[in-house]
Structure 1
Amino acid sequence: MSTTVQAEPHTTAQRTATNEFVSYPHDIPHRVEHDAETHRLRIEGGPHSTTWQLGQSAGQLALTWPAGSTPRREATLAAIDAAFAFHPEAQWLQLQGPKAMYPALRHTGIVVDDSEGVPWVPAELFWQQPGLWLPSPRPLPYPQQPVLSAGKRHPRRPPKPEGTVYRRHIPWLKATLSFRVLDLEHDLERFSRWMNDPVVAHFWEEQGDLAQHRHRLEATLSHPNALPLIACFDDQPFGYFEAYWAKEDRLGAYYDADDFDRGWHLLIGEAAFRGTPYVAAWLPSISHYLFLDDCRTQRLVIEPRVDNAKMLHNLARCGYAHLKAFDFPHKRAMLGMQLREHFFNERSWIPQPPHPGSAPRPGPRFSQ
C-alpha cells in the first residue's frame, strides 16, 4: 500500500506529466499514472493506491480490476475518469470487475448493461455525474415554487453557493481549471483592472474606478438571478464569468425561455490566458458546470456581440448553435444556444478539432 496523497486539490495538478491525470471524485484528489507499455493505471488517492488494467477488449476500450476484492468507489470513479481522458475518442468503456461493485454504479447511471448483460460506462452518462467535478453538489434538485420578480414569473432560485463550485483537470495544459464564487474584498481590484483593459472594455464597455466596480459587484452578488465566478488555472485567476437564469434576465424577452435555462457572460482579464489551448478548456467547462449544477437545465444561452467573430467561432466549435441576430438597446447580439442532449451526446467537453485535446469523432455508436 502507498502512503496517502499529501498534495491538496489545488496543488496536485502542478506536478502532473503527460502520462498523468488528476481526478477529483467527491472532491478527493486522485493522481493517476498511465503506463502505456503495461496498460496499467496506477491510482493514488485517499489512504491507498490501486492499479487497474486499461486496454482493449473485442476492439472496445476496457477497464479491468485485477484483484479479488471490491475496489473503492472513489478510486473506481477516478479510474473511469482517467480512462476517458487518455482515450478522448471513446464513447463507451467496458467495466470488468467483481459483481459487488455494479449495483451502486447502475443505480446512479454510471453503468448500463447491454442486451447480453455486459456492463458498460457510457461517456454521455458519466460526464453527467456532479460528484466528479462539483466539490459540493446538491443532493437533490432545489424544490420548485413559482415566484414573481419585476413582473416575471419564474421558479424560486436556490441560495448561491460559496467557494469553489467546479474543478476539472485539463490534460493538454497539465493544469486544473476551477471556478469559484467571487469574493468582493479579495477580487475587487483585480476585477476593476480587468474591466479597464482595452480588450475587455471594447466588448463590456464598463470602464470605471473601484467605487463604480464595487457597486456593480455588490448588485450582482445580491441579485438571486446572477452568480459571479472567478476562473482559475491552478488557483491563478484569469477571468470573470457571470452565470444567470435566463427566464428573468433581459435575454428572456428575446426568445421562449424555459424555467431552467441558464446563460453566461465572460471576460478573460489576463492576456497570457487568451490563447486557443485555454479557450478549449474554459469554454466547454463553463457549459459543463451549468449543466451539472441543475439536472433540469436543458439549454444554455449566450448573447455575444455580432462583431465578436472569435467568440462566435469558438462557440460553434464547442457545440453552440447560432440561432439569430437581434437588437438589445445597447448592442446587436447573436443568440447562441447549447442543448444538454447535444453537449453530452456529442461529448462537447472536448471541442471539435483543431482545438487542443480534441479527438477524431468515431463512427457508429455502440448500440445496446
Structure 2
Amino acid sequence: MSSSVQAQTKVQIPYESPTVASLLSRPEGGTYRVTYEITTQTLYVEGHQERLEWLLVDDNSTLTLQWSQRSAPPLPALLAAIEGAFAFHPGAVALRLQLPTGLHANLCATGIAVKGPHGDLWAYAELFWQLPTLWLNSPAMRPYPRQPILANGKRHPRRPPRPSGTVYQRHIPWLDATLSFRVLDLELDLERFNRWMNDPVVAHFWEEQGDLQQHRERLESTLQNPSVVPLIGCIDGEPFGYFETYWAKEDRIGAYYDAGDFDRGWHVLIGEAAFRGRPYVAAWMPSISHYLFLDDCRTQRLVIEPRVDNAKMLHNLARCGYAHVKAFDFPHKRAMLGMQLREHFFNERSWIPLPPHPGSAPRPDPRFTL
C-alpha cells in the first residue's frame, strides 16, 4: 500500500485497549452508537433519543455485561450492547449477561442467549453473529421456502427474487467506517464497472476489458440470471468494488465438486486503488462471507475459484478461513477451489481475520466455555 493510502486509513486495533472505543450498531433497522470507556469499564448505548449505561467487566476469566436497572432495556439496545461487547473484546467466545429474569425466555428462544448449567445467562459469539437482524436490511422470510425445479438441465431449489438496494451493513472498528453491500444498479454503476474492468490490475485477472456497450450487455445478462446477485461494495457509501455472488449448484463450479443445494460462491474485483490495502481486505473479505451465510441459514459452504497464480488472493483467503481444497482446470484458467465452512466461520470467529490483519485478536482464547 502506498504511503498516501496509508495516511487515509484510520486503523484502530480494538484489543490494544485505547482509552475509549466506539462502534455503530444497526439492530432491527435502528442505529446506535456504542461507546466503551476502558478505564471505568462502562459501556454506553446511544440512539433514539436515549443513552443507556452498562458495565462491561473483564476479569481475565469472564466477560460480563451488566444491566443495573430494574426495568428491562429495549431489545435493539441490548443487541447493540452485545455487539459492542464482542467487538471491543474480539477474542471473547462468550459473554455473561446480567439482565432482568423477564427477558431470559425470549432471549433463549431466539438464540440471542443460552442458559448455563447454573442458571446463568450467556451470549455466544458463534450464535450471536448468525442473527441476521443486526446486519441484513431485510431479514424477513428467511429461509425462503424450498421447491425443487429443473432449469438448464440442472435440478436445484427455486431461488428467491433478487433483492434491491443495500442488503448488508457492518461498522468496521479499525477503519471507523461502515462497509455495505448494495445490489448493482445498471444505470448508476455501468460507467464505474466499465472503468474498473479496464483497470490494468483488474484486467490481469478478469480479462474482461471492453467498451461501455460490451459491459452493458454483460451486466444485462448477469441481471437476467436468477442464480446470481451482483453487488457493489461501499465504504461509508463510496463504491470501491464489485462482488458477483451466485448459487454454486447452478454455476460452472458445480461440475468440479459435490455442490450442495445451498452452497454459495463469489467473485470480486477491487476497482478503486485507494481501497486495495490490508485494512480493507480485512473488512470486505470476511463481510462478504458473513453476508452469504446470513442470507440463508441453510448455506453450509462457500466456494471461490481464483486463479492459482493469484498468490495474494490465496494468502488472504487463508487468513479469512478459506481452505485451499484443490487445483483444477477450467477451460479458460487453472483455478484453486477455496472453501469456507459455516461451522468454521462462526466457531473460529472468522469475521475478524487471523493476524497480521488489522482488527484480529490474539488466538486461541482460553475464555469460558460451557
TM-score (structure 2 length as normaliser): 0.93
Could you tell me which of 360, 363, 368 is aligned with 1:361?
363
**2:78 paired with 1:92:** no
**2:203 paired with 1:201:** yes
Q: Corresponding residue for 1:60?
A: 62
- Aligned pairs for 1:110-149 (under 5 A) are 110-149=112-151
Q: Corresponding residue for 1:11?
A: none
Distance in 1 of aligned mates of 2:59 and 2:245: 42
Distance in 2 of aligned mates of 1:140 and 1:252: 24
1:102-132 residue CA offsets vs partner (Å, 9 max, x unmatched): 2211111110011111110000000000000
Q: Corresponding residue for 1:277?
A: 279
Distance in 2 of aligned mates of 1:262 and 1:217: 20
1:179-204 residue CA offsets vs partner (Å, 9 max, x unmatched): 00001000000000000000000000
Deviation at 1:42, TM superposition (A): 1.1
Q: Corresponding residue for 2:165?
A: 163
| Identical-residue share of aligned pairs (%) | 70
- Aligned pairs for 1:217-256 (under 5 A) are 217-256=219-258
Equivalent residues of 1:302, 1:336 under 8 A apart = yes
Letter in 2 for 1:173: L
Distance in 2 of aligned mates of 1:196 and 1:293: 31
Equivalent residues of 1:71, 1:101 under 8 A apart = no
Q: Corresponding residue for 1:101?
A: 103
Secondary structure in 2 aligned to 1:19? strand
Q: Corresponding residue for 2:35?
A: 33
- Aligned pairs for 1:165-180 (under 5 A) are 165-180=167-182
Could you tell me which of 288, 291, 310 is aligned with 1:289?
291
Deviation at 1:362, TM superposition (A): 3.1
Moved over 6 A (4+): none
Deviation at 1:364, TM superposition (A): 4.2
Letter in 2 for 1:257: A
Distance in 2 of aligned mates of 1:332 and 1:58: 48
Distance in 1 of aligned mates of 2:365 and 2:185: 46
TM-score (structure 1 length as normaliser): 0.94
Q: Corresponding residue for 2:346?
A: 344
Deviation at 1:363, TM superposition (A): 4.1
Distance in 2 of aligned mates of 1:250 and 1:61: 46
Equivalent residues of 2:92, 2:365 under 8 A apart = no
Deviation at 1:20, TM superposition (A): 1.3
Deviation at 1:56, TM superposition (A): 2.6
Secondary structure in 2 aligned to 1:255? coil
1:145-175 residue CA offsets vs partner (Å, 9 max, x unmatched): 1111110000000001110000000000000
Distance in 2 of aligned mates of 1:154 and 1:315: 28
Deviation at 1:59, TM superposition (A): 2.3
